Structure 1
Amino acid sequence: MALDSITLYHLIKELQPQLIGTRIDKIQQPEKEEIHLIIRGSGKNMRLLLNAGSTAVRLHLSSESKKNPLTPPMFCMILRKHIENGKIIAIRQVGLERVVTLTIQNYNERGDLQNYDLHLEIMAKHSNLILVDSETNIILDGIRRYSHLLSRHREVLPGRRYVAPPSQNKIEPMGNEEKWMQKILETPLDRRISDILVMFFDGISPELAREIVLRAELDPNSVLDNCGEIDLSRLYQAYAYFLIDKAVLPLAPCVYYASDKDKQTPTAFSIVPYRQYADLYRKDLSSLNDTVDLYYTQKNTSNKNDAKKGSLRKVVQDHLSHVIKKDGIYTETTAKAQKGLAYQKLGELLTANLYKLTPGMKEVTVEDYTDPEYQPLTITLDPNLSGIDNAQRYYKIYSKAKSTIKNTLPLQEDVRQEMAYLQSLLLSIDQTANDTELGEVYQELIDQGYVAWKHGKGDDARHSGGKGLAAGKGNRSGTGGKKAKEAPVYSIPHHYSSQTGKTIIVGRNNKQNDCMTWREAKPGDLWLHVKNIPGSHVIVPLTEGEEFPDDPTLLDAAALAIYYSQARGSSHVPVDYTHVREIKKPRGAKPGMVVYEQNWSLLLTPDQDTINRLLSTET
């Protein structure tokens, strides 16, 4: 979600006493559309972040430091020239417009004090950050430049006069309930109330409109025609709570997450608890600035991780597509060779009937002694060959087909093992819970030669989960070109509790699977895995003398094995289980790959309540 007008109003109100009077020590531009003002005031340093990107436009004090480019962009240099070492003397919002203006006082080139306005325009894809000479209203530069070719309303170019974004001509907050109702009733009766609030009244975003409707005890999809006078009165009271009484609104900022187990990927934030997010997990904070900072920092990290996952998935998918194509070629080759095996019988029949063959014959009909009814069989002959040579010709076709199958089947088996391994990598990528786990999958791709490690970006590339990504070229030896140093194991498998209190350990990637199975599990512990489907290793630690866990724990462990596999959501899934001592890793096998001969199996269809219960116990 983006900063709406009301949130912006309260954020500026909170920031004013912290920013006014501070000096700008440094100016940085770590990203294309993001500026950091390092400011100092009241004996402490602060970092004011201003982002004009289309997806995360905002301003707030931030504790996150980002790496800067070696050469500062032009806009950053312009800011340094005019406002570095300057003093922030004002921060304001005009009405409920989503434009924030910082006024900075600094000495110009002539040594005179001069004011500069830094306008942050929060307008989705049209957002911008523009530096303006306060006295002349002339643009000094914008983080996004454009001419009349892109906008008929104005140009954002150095030397042009600054023109504010076009007004939306919406109705300003109204303190008179009767007049407010009259305005509402002037709109078409078939329109939804929430749409009317957004389209015609200033300062209302879609999220706030839904909240106003819910606080009026109305259905979010209610249309005006279904609202009576009492409904409209309740609607106005909710409207007034946010917009008329905004100066005294008691703030209780919070960030929302899908569940209490996923506190790294926020869903939304609000200035007070919103009813529309009542089903989400809520984290309360004391500062609105901290709320905005936390939301966007975590959202940015989540988006970067999603991008890294996408990059890794593409690499694996490309290799998987190539392997699937090879498997198809081998299948086609084997199927064609299978037909050649039938030529052995033809050669034998010709050998048994050589006395019937005379030079120049094009075909011969013989009794098929391999047929229970001795049906006649006509065999095509080469008239230029003798009878024995015709028989040898069929034997050669048979021998070639037999040799082709013998040579192709091991290759196809290798390809199918690689296919299963690549599918396990896709599952590992999807199941990564944090940047460390993603970095482990990336390191595995390097170790297995699927990704080439770019020298010079070593540690950053190998542990960031995607930086410096480049597809490997045909090397499957596990060296990845130059052998990269094996990354330390940073993450540990995930631990859950069964309904009887037993510990269940689940690996989320091949590194975790290998670590828990070969290093940490005891020979007598129970090991589980979905049958013939890529998935996580699951371990149930057992005490000495205990051969199997109790049935509820076994079923819970099997449910987790299914949940963390490609069979998630399927029914009647077979799950193999055995003791760790029965697990073997073939020489040269890829990470996470094991074999076993003695095992038990069960069929299970986990219900969602069981999964939710188990996930809630994660430690």
Structure 2
Amino acid sequence: MALDGVTLAYLVSELAPQLIGARIDKIHQPEKDEIHLQLRQQGSRRLLLSTSATSPRFHFTEETKKNPPSPPMFCMILRKHLEGGKIVNLHQTALERVVTFEIQNYNDRGDLVSLHLHLEIMGKHSNLILVDPTTHTILDGLKRYSHALSQYREVLPGRTYLAPPSQGKLPPQENEELWRQTLYEEDLERSITSILLARFAGISPELAREIVIQAGLKPEILLHQCGDIDCSRLFQAYRRLCNPEEILEIKPCLYYNPALKTQLVAFSFTPFQQYQDLRRENVPSLNDAVQIFYQSKTSNNSLESKRGSLRKIVQEQHAHFSKKLKIYEEALLNANSSLNYQKWGELLTANLYRIPQGTVEASVEDYFDPTLASVIIPLNPHISVIDNAQHYYKLYNKAKATLLKTKSLKETTLEEVQYLASLRVSLDQASTLTELTEIHLELVGQGYVTGKHLKKNTLKLKKGRPQANAKSKLKSPKEVPQPRIYRSSQGKSIFVGKNNAQNDWLSLRKGKPNDLWLHVKQIPGSHVLVPLDEGEEFPDDTTLEEAAALAIYYSQARGSSQVAVDYTHVKQLKKPNSAKPGMVIYDQNWTLYLTPKTEILEQLLASEEITE
């Protein structure tokens, strides 16, 4: 959920005892929208203040980030005024998303002065502003802007500080009659959720929804559908959730996708009924919940950003080679149709003295045809018959040369298209930055992108096509690959490659000759390996079907039915010279046709062993 005014009030209440009295030892600005305060109070702790448009917040953190070579201007201003100072108070006004740090410090003249550091948590308008409270003058802001960007206020040094404009929402209500009166001032056709969101301070869409659910009502219920009892339940739920000053104990929670163990979906200061279908994890403090959630969100943003940049490269290359493949196919089609010109040349030569000079076409018997059917051959009347025959011979030789040259080009281009399709599958299914980094290194190795970490001239790129020998110049990574490892219902281990490099490692190095290998037939996807005991030729049928289900799930055929899955022993696998990563061939195999069952897949995915 969002860090709304109510949740922020609970967080302020929790952190205030730990912050008040703390000394500010050091100040850093590792990101353009992020300030770290190194605090000292019975030990050292780091407080993060973020004005990120996607995840503004504040909380203690143990994460340390690399600082820029020279501190930004705002960081230097904070160091000048706040380093060595003491936090004497921390407060939030009327559930607004503005947290004020009151800090006392000695100025250049040795006088003890008070300063206010306002953290405004308001999405893309979030800001961190240092203010002199005696004159309400802005000393500086993390994000400066003038009236050209905001007609309401300027955030510039020397300007008067104005709090963000009020939205006209009501503070926490203790009187049920007044609370009801506020509700019934709204349109009767409006939903309760939207009324709570619009009229009462500190409430986010998730919290408004939770109030309605905890009142035993449907989230989409309209105002005119609520009776007296419903209104009483709504008020009790509102009081229970939205009055931080009266609630002494909270139970912070994190919520994960039940199918993916590490995918964090939401957090809350108390268990929310709307998340009951998610996997819940209780955490000791709201600070921990906020920290873990937003660090996960930041990591996911980085993950999607890197995935997007790599996907763009792969898609552009795939489109390029697909276009080339189409050109080669059309050239081969035209060349095949031109092979008939050899016969026309021979028929013209055989009938040289029977065809009048200057005719536009010749009808001759086709002695290549057992029925001796007549063939009509177009002619150029301005040249001799023998020159027409030579013209057709030239067209035939040209077509023959085209076939000879274009066939190998088509095969090479088709290999590139198939390889890039496999990369797209790996990119879509990568779940960590480590996996994306491995794919990035693979793209570097194949010459699709340059690697700054490589020595100069290690890779040389041709326009539109990577060097075929680029990969041979790269050193293999020293780290042992970490493929996905699952456990079948019969207790067998099942290994699944996360990318082409891991596929090669599984199939050609990890797998023993008699281990079972699976792959979706003629479709990009992961290699799957089932280690077998000595003397065991095949696993049990259940393990075989579950391994095939994983091969389908981690392929381009995910979600399809009656998918063909090839399986064979590792000793049957061969990797041709100069073959792309992840590409192997085999002569002997069996094929299984399977439609994976959802419940079996869920059990398999839940059995994944975390290796990173």
Q: Same fold (TM over 0.5)?
A: yes
Query: What residue is the counterpart of 1:463 in the other structure?
Result: none
C-alpha change, 1:457 and 1:404, in structure 2 (3 Å) is closer
**Structure 1 counterpart of 2:571, from 572, 581, 593:** 581
Query: What residue is the counterpart of 1:467 in the other structure?
Result: none
The farther-off stretch of 193-202 and 242-251 is 242-251
Say if 2:348 is the partner of 1:350.
yes
Q: Deviations over 1:177-223 (max 9, x none)?
A: 12211221221110000000010112211111000000011001000
Say if 2:159 is the partner of 1:121.
no
The farther-off stretch of 529-538 and 77-86 is 77-86
Q: 2 CA distance for matches of 1:372 and 1:200? A: 93
Does the 8 Å CA contact 1:440/1:487 hold for their aligned counterparts? no
Amino acid at match of 1:136: T
Q: 1 CA distance for matches of 2:244 and 2:47? A: 28
Q: 1 CA distance for matches of 2:427 and 2:463? A: 21
- Give the CA deviation at 1:339: 2.1
Does the 8 Å CA contact 2:10/2:244 hold for their aligned counterparts? no
C-alpha change, 1:452 and 1:478, in structure 2 (3 Å) is farther
Query: What residue is the counterpart of 2:54 in the other structure?
Result: 55
Amino acid at match of 2:335: A
The farther-off stretch of 107-116 and 529-538 is 107-116
- Give the CA deviation at 1:480: 5.0
Does the 8 Å CA contact 1:450/1:480 hold for their aligned counterparts? no
Query: What residue is the counterpart of 1:454 in the other structure?
Result: 452
Within 5 A, what are the aligned runs for 1:445-594? 445-455=443-453, 476-477=466-467, 480=470, 483-594=473-584
Query: What residue is the counterpart of 1:214 in the other structure?
Result: 213
Does the 8 Å CA contact 1:367/1:374 hold for their aligned counterparts? yes
Query: What residue is the counterpart of 1:190 in the other structure?
Result: 189
Q: 2 CA distance for matches of 1:183 and 1:344? A: 92
C-alpha change, 1:527 and 1:481, in structure 2 (3 Å) is closer
Say if 2:38 is the partner of 1:21.
no
Query: What residue is the counterpart of 1:390 in the other structure?
Result: 388
- Give the CA deviation at 1:149: 1.9
Within 5 A, what are the aligned runs for 1:140-539? 140-244=139-243, 246-259=245-258, 261-263=260-262, 265-371=263-369, 374-455=372-453, 476-477=466-467, 480=470, 483-539=473-529
The farther-off stretch of 438-447 and 46-55 is 438-447
C-alpha change, 1:260 and 1:13, in structure 2 (3 Å) is farther
- Give the CA deviation at 1:396: 1.7
What's the secondary structure of 1:294's corresponding residue?
helix
Does the 8 Å CA contact 1:52/1:127 hold for their aligned counterparts? yes
What's the secondary structure of 2:58's corresponding residue?
strand
- Give the CA deviation at 1:101: 0.4
Identical positions, percent: 55
Query: What residue is the counterpart of 1:465 in the other structure?
Result: none
Q: 2 CA distance for matches of 1:517 and 1:507? A: 9
What's the secondary structure of 1:378's corresponding residue?
strand
Q: 2 CA distance for matches of 1:446 and 1:49? A: 36
Q: 1 CA distance for matches of 2:34 and 2:470? A: 36
Does the 8 Å CA contact 1:452/1:481 hold for their aligned counterparts? no
Q: 1 CA distance for matches of 2:298 and 2:284? A: 22
Say if 2:78 is the partner of 1:88.
no
- Give the CA deviation at 1:142: 0.7
Q: Deviations over 1:157-190 (max 9, x none)?
A: 1100001111111122111112211221221110
Does the 8 Å CA contact 1:447/1:486 hold for their aligned counterparts? no
Does the 8 Å CA contact 1:214/1:275 hold for their aligned counterparts? yes
- Give the CA deviation at 1:359: 3.2
Q: Deviations over 1:416-444 (max 9, x none)?
A: 11111111111112222322222211111
Say if 2:128 is the partner of 1:135.
no
Q: 1 CA distance for matches of 2:369 and 2:472? A: 61
C-alpha change, 1:113 and 1:484, in structure 2 (3 Å) is farther
Query: What residue is the counterpart of 1:461 in the other structure?
Result: none
Amino acid at match of 2:328: Y
What's the secondary structure of 1:247's corresponding residue?
coil
What's the secondary structure of 2:234's corresponding residue?
helix
- Give the CA deviation at 1:501: 2.1
TM (normalized to structure 1)?
Answer: 0.94
- Give the CA deviation at 1:145: 1.1
Amino acid at match of 2:602: N
Query: What residue is the counterpart of 1:3 in the other structure?
Result: 3
Does the 8 Å CA contact 2:6/2:244 hold for their aligned counterparts? no
Q: Deviations over 1:311-354 (max 9, x none)?
A: 11111112112111211221121122122112122112212322
Amino acid at match of 1:445: L
Q: 1 CA distance for matches of 2:166 and 2:461? A: 50
Q: 1 CA distance for matches of 2:243 and 2:130? A: 32
CA RMSD of aligned residues (A): 2.1
Query: What residue is the counterpart of 2:600 in the other structure?
Result: 610
C-alpha change, 1:439 and 1:298, in structure 2 (3 Å) is same
Q: 2 CA distance for matches of 1:457 and 1:568? A: 39
What's the secondary structure of 2:353's corresponding residue?
helix
Amino acid at match of 1:280: L
- Give the CA deviation at 1:276: 0.7
C-alpha change, 1:245 and 1:489, in structure 2 (3 Å) is closer
Q: 1 CA distance for matches of 2:462 and 2:8? A: 48
Q: 2 CA distance for matches of 1:2 and 1:242? A: 15
C-alpha change, 1:84 and 1:479, in structure 2 (3 Å) is farther
Does the 8 Å CA contact 1:427/1:535 hold for their aligned counterparts? yes
Gaps of 5+ in 1: 459-469
What's the secondary structure of 2:10's corresponding residue?
helix
Amino acid at match of 2:535: G
What's the secondary structure of 1:67's corresponding residue?
coil
Q: 2 CA distance for matches of 1:527 and 1:124? A: 50
- Give the CA deviation at 1:242: 1.4
Query: What residue is the counterpart of 2:36 in the other structure?
Result: 36
C-alpha change, 1:402 and 1:507, in structure 2 (3 Å) is same
What's the secondary structure of 1:365's corresponding residue?
strand
C-alpha change, 1:473 and 1:296, in structure 2 (3 Å) is farther
What's the secondary structure of 1:535's corresponding residue?
coil
Does the 8 Å CA contact 1:241/1:249 hold for their aligned counterparts? no
What's the secondary structure of 1:601's corresponding residue?
strand
Q: 2 CA distance for matches of 1:302 and 1:479? A: 35
What's the secondary structure of 1:248's corresponding residue?
coil
- Give the CA deviation at 1:521: 1.1
The farther-off stretch of 372-381 and 276-285 is 372-381
C-alpha change, 1:372 and 1:473, in structure 2 (3 Å) is closer
- Give the CA deviation at 1:455: 4.4
What's the secondary structure of 1:354's corresponding residue?
coil
What's the secondary structure of 1:355's corresponding residue?
coil
C-alpha change, 1:322 and 1:55, in structure 2 (3 Å) is same
Q: 1 CA distance for matches of 2:462 and 2:19? A: 50
Gaps of 5+ in 2: none
Does the 8 Å CA contact 2:446/2:471 hold for their aligned counterparts? no
Q: Deviations over 1:115-152 (max 9, x none)?
A: 11000011112111100012111001111111122222
Does the 8 Å CA contact 2:22/2:86 hold for their aligned counterparts? yes
The farther-off stretch of 365-374 and 163-172 is 365-374
